[in-house]
């Protein structure tokens, strides 16, 4: 039964629905549907556009471009839904776009200096620039989802440098031991800033439990920036599109 009792909400089968929230959810879903099928070409074009803006001194903030892992990520994101949590890193642009994020919104955030801190609650998308900061957040969220008996999953991305942090070990052990709905995805580009794995820890390899997946890729962009020397003096901070 549907009846209208409040100015800003209605009740259907005993559930009170707020008009504004309902409208927001529909518009989020439509936005998500519009952006979710982004192609490899569009991903590359997006990062090229950001690189051009960086080279033109239009982004006086740190940026970490993605490149070389388009196909692997497109495949991984096929298993991820709007309701799932996506925990990203300092290299978040592709993750955001593949989560159904709007390229326009992302560009605006990058121009505002938020490249390393892309957060969008409508998409359940969080990123952190603290290397291996994501796994601990992911674990907490997964614990809450399990306690609430919610049928949602947490997908946490991290680099091969984050893999060697103690936080990651603790998070993995907790998720594995308590069977939490969380998958960690190591994006192994054999690079911690510019240092390879063999230089960092010799031949050592960790054998993680099944909640940890890994894909390897050859990055097509430098660790940060574009590799160009850019003179940012005189650039206005906080500039937007
Ligand atoms: C706790 C912490 N230590 C150091 C840094 C500096 N830092 C930023 S990115 C980075 C390397 C990250 O490498 P990886 O996790 O493999 O991701 P990639 O950049 O290769 O995608 C480091 C050491 C940081 N942001 N946070
Ligand atoms: Mg790396």
pLDDT (tens digit, 9 = 90+) per residue, 63-72?
Answer: 999 999 999 9
Atom of ligand 1 nearest to the CA of 188: 16
69, 117, 192: residue to mutate for ligand 1 pocket, most atoms within 8 A of CB: 192
3-state helix, strand, coil in the chain (%, to 5): 40, 15, 45
Q: What is the reported pTM?
A: 0.93
> Side by side, which strands form the sheet with 125-127?
125-127, 85-88, 154-159, 182-188, 212-216
When pLDDT is cut at 50, 70 and 90, the band that residue 2 belongs to is low
When pLDDT is cut at 50, 70 and 90, the band that residue 3 belongs to is low
With beta carbons less than 8 A apart as the criterion, state whether 77 and 38 touch: no
With beta carbons less than 8 A apart as the criterion, state whether 123 and 154 touch: no
Give the domains, in start order, of the chain with CATH numbers. 1-35 (no CATH), 38-216 (3.40.50.970)
C-alpha pair distances (Å), 155 with each of 82, 127, 152: 12, 12, 10
Distance 228 CA to ligand 1 centre (A): 20
């Amino acid at each position: 039964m549907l009846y209208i009792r409040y100015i800003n909400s209605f009740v259907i089968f005993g559930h009170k629905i707020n008009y504004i929230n309902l409208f927001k959810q529909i518009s989020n879903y439509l936005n998500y549907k519009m952006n979710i099928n982004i192609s490899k070409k569009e991903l590359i074009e997006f990062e090229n556009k950001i690189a051009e803006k960086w080279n033109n001194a239009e982004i006086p903030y740190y940026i970490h471009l993605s490149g070389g892992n388009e196909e692997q990520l497109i495949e991984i994101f096929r298993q991820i839904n709007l309701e799932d949590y996506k925990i990203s890193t300092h290299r978040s642009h592709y993750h955001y776009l593949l989560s159904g994020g709007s390229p326009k919104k992302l560009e605006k955030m990058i121009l505002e200096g938020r490249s390393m801190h892309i957060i969008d609650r409508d998409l359940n998308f969080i990123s952190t620039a603290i290397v291996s900061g994501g796994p601990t957040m992911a674990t907490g969220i997964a614990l809450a989802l399990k306690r609430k008996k919610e049928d949602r999953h947490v997908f946490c991305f991290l680099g091969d440098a984050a893999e060697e942090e103690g936080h990651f070990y603790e998070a993995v052990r907790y998720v594995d031991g308590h069977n939490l709905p969380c998958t960690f995805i190591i994006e192994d580009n054999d690079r911690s800033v510019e240092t390879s794995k063999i230089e960092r820890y010799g031949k050592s390899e960790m054998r993680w439990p099944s909640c940890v997946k890994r894909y390897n890729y050859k990055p097509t962009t430098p660790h940060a920036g574009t590799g160009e020397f850019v003179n940012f003096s005189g650039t206005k901070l906080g500039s937007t599109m």
